[in-house]
Amino acid sequence: MSRRVLHVDFNSFYASVACFLDPALRPHPVAVAGDPEARHGIILAKNELAKKFGVKTGEAIWQAKQKCPLLVTVKPDFASYQKFSALGREIYGEYSDRVEAFGLDENWIDVSGSTETLEDARRLAETIRFRIRDELGITVSIGVADNKVFAKLGSDIKKPDAVTLISPENYQKVVWPLPASDLLYVGRATQAKLLKYGVLTIGDLANTPVSFLKSQFGKCGVMLHAFANGLDAAPVLRSIDQPPVKSVGNGITTPRDLVNDEDVYLTICMLAESVSARLREQGMRAKTAHLSVRDTGLYSFIRQTKFDHPTNITSEISRACMQLFRENYNWQTPIRSLTVSTSDLVGEDNPEQLSLFDDQAPRRRAEAAEGAVDDIRRRFGYRAIGRALFLKDRAIGLMAPKDDHTIHPVGYLQNGTMDSVIGGSPQ
């Protein structure tokens, strides 16, 4: 028997919450901005009225106001966003014990236990949509499908305040004409490569020989082929089922050989920024840093060091790994790949023995600043804000390792679906 999965997505979440909290804003085009007092502040979110004027997430306030002179900007209120997110999950929890968050404003819900058919699930989705609107004062779009990937896609198809059903009977008509980039886990780099091979739509991806996709993308190609054909067995996880993270890392083969300490430091900083962001997403700090190095002569080594204090701060991870590099490499051959990782993870609320002689205030300010950058990037992409250091070499500094190393649905690569589609078309 097929599953019934919903994906619930709050519409224009930040702006919707702002308009609910201040009803005087509702008749106006509204944008939530990082610094509304500064003309160079950035748009984090906008309501439907602002969208009609062409206001876009990620552009400067002054650019948005050129399009929409009457645009009202408000400061972000993350405490309220978290509150509304939790209230939404309370409603979802009345219908299923399997509610998996996908950021503050999105959740998957497995309603297989409370419905018998996808049509039943669609009716339940309508009930949830009405309840969110009536009880929380904001709207959601909901996708209904027999898997997480199509449910997520369904919530994106029709906005705002709508329910979209994607079934085994209609998915070729509804899903296949959409751009391949609309499919979950098709990032910018993958999209560019697919376009090079003439794969423009999800249907093109579904009908591309899986052997070719595997040769070009490895296991990821097999996975995307399955997703395009509606084959996704990943379960909707309860929070208690999600395994604890034991380590966090990112590695790359660099776009060019690294020939000096400056090149290496730039790359380490770029990787450390991704690692620290992942740690903060998990609410974790690390006690140990690891650096893996491989040069063009295929010589490689891995070294590790302990931090003085558990950390998720980019600069502290970068300095520790750069020190490991300087202590262990003598520049006989250029560097070809680097990996930065952390382990011995503890929760952010884990008690820590401090010294009377340590001033922790600068560390806490650095952590808060990086958290603010995380929030901006979650809304409109990695490249919307960055360190000036990265402009020294755009080929390296503007890479987005966190985006390019996406964590895929947990159950998929661990079940038999992968093996069943490698040999040919899915059945």
Considering the domain architecture, whether residues 384 and 296 belong to the same structural domain is answered as yes
Considering the domain architecture, whether residues 249 and 397 belong to the same structural domain is answered as yes
**Is 412 a domain residue?**
no
**Is 418 a domain residue?**
no
Structure confidence by residue, pLDDT tens digits, 159-181: 999 999 999 999 999 999 999 99
Q: Which of 51, 77, 103 represents a domain boundary (last residue)?
A: 77
Looking at residue 354, its pLDDT comes to 60
Looking at residue 240, its pLDDT comes to 61
SS3 of the chain? CCCCEEEEEECCHHHHHHHHHCHHHCCCCEEEECCCCCCCCEEEEECHHHHHCCCCCCCEHHHHHHHCCCCEEECCCHHHHHHHHHHHHHHHCCCCCCEEECCCCEEEEECCCCCCCHHHHHHHHHHHHHHHHHHHCCCEEEEEECCHHHHHHHHHHCCCCEEEECCCCCHHHHCCCCEHHHCCCCCHHHHHHHHHCCCCEHHHHHHCCHHHHHHHHCHHHHHHHHHHCCCCCCCCCCHHHCCCCCEEEEEEEEEEEECCHHHHHHHHHHHHHHHHHHHHHCCEEEEEEEEEEEECCCCEEEEEEEEEEEECCHHHHHHHHHHHHHHHCCCCCCEEEEEEEEEEEEECCCCCCCCCCCCCHHHHHHHHHHHHHHHHHHHHCHHHCCCHHHHHCHHHHCCCHHHHCCCCCCCHHHCCHHHHHHCCCCC
Which residues touch 132 (CB under 8 Å, ≥6 apart)? Answer: 8, 10, 88, 91, 138, 139, 140
**Is 332 a domain residue?**
yes
Considering the domain architecture, whether residues 221 and 231 belong to the same structural domain is answered as yes
**Is 400 a domain residue?**
yes
- Give the CA-trace dihedral at 311, 312, 315, 318, to 10 degrees: 90
Structure confidence by residue, pLDDT tens digits, 33-70: 865 554 446 788 899 999 999 998 878 888 899 999 99
The answer to whether 137 and 21 have CB atoms below 8 angstroms apart is no
| CATH number for the domain that contains residue 184 | 1.10.150.20
Considering the domain architecture, whether residues 69 and 86 belong to the same structural domain is answered as no
**Is 416 a domain residue?**
no
What strands lie across the sheet with 43-46, from one edge to the other?
43-46, 30-33, 72-74
Q: Select which of 90, 94, 100, 106 is catalytic.
A: 106
Considering the domain architecture, whether residues 298 and 366 belong to the same structural domain is answered as yes
What domain range is 57 assigned to? 14-77
What strands lie across the sheet with 284-295, from one edge to the other?
247-258, 335-347, 284-295, 300-311
Considering the domain architecture, whether residues 225 and 254 belong to the same structural domain is answered as no
Considering the domain architecture, whether residues 392 and 261 belong to the same structural domain is answered as yes
Question: Into how many domains does the chain fold?
Answer: 4
Considering the domain architecture, whether residues 361 and 275 belong to the same structural domain is answered as yes
Active site residue 281: no
Count other Cβ atoms within 10 Å, centred on residue 376. Answer: 18
Looking at residue 37, its pLDDT comes to 55
Rounded to 10°, the helix 314-328/261-281 angle is 140
CA-CA distances (angstroms) from residue 117 to 4, 5, 168, 427? Answer: 7, 11, 12, 22
**Is 417 a domain residue?**
no
Looking at residue 66, its pLDDT comes to 94
pTM of the entire predicted model: 0.63
In the chain, what's the furthest Cα-to-Cα distance? 67
The answer to whether 332 and 279 have CB atoms below 8 angstroms apart is no
The answer to whether 379 and 33 have CB atoms below 8 angstroms apart is no
CA-CA distances (angstroms) from residue 185 to 227, 411, 418? Answer: 10, 15, 16
Count other Cβ atoms within 10 Å, centred on residue 380. Answer: 17
Considering the domain architecture, whether residues 189 and 250 belong to the same structural domain is answered as no
Q: Which of 153, 172, 191 represents a domain boundary (last residue)?
A: 172
* pLDDT tens, the chain, 427 aa long: 589 999 999 999 999 999 999 999 999 999 988 655 544 467 888 999 999 999 988 788 888 999 999 999 998 887 888 899 999 999 999 999 999 888 788 999 999 999 999 999 999 999 999 999 999 999 999 999 999 999 999 999 999 999 999 999 999 999 999 999 999 878 777 888 999 999 999 999 999 999 999 999 888 899 999 999 999 888 888 766 555 667 788 887 776 788 899 989 999 988 988 888 888 887 888 999 999 998 877 788 889 999 988 998 889 999 999 999 999 998 888 988 888 999 888 887 666 666 666 666 787 888 788 878 777 777 776 666 777 777 676 656 656 665 544 333 333 333 344 443 333 333 3
| CATH number for the domain that contains residue 127 | 3.30.70.270
Looking at residue 242, its pLDDT comes to 55
Considering the domain architecture, whether residues 291 and 206 belong to the same structural domain is answered as no
Q: Which of 172, 200, 228 represents a domain boundary (last residue)?
A: 172
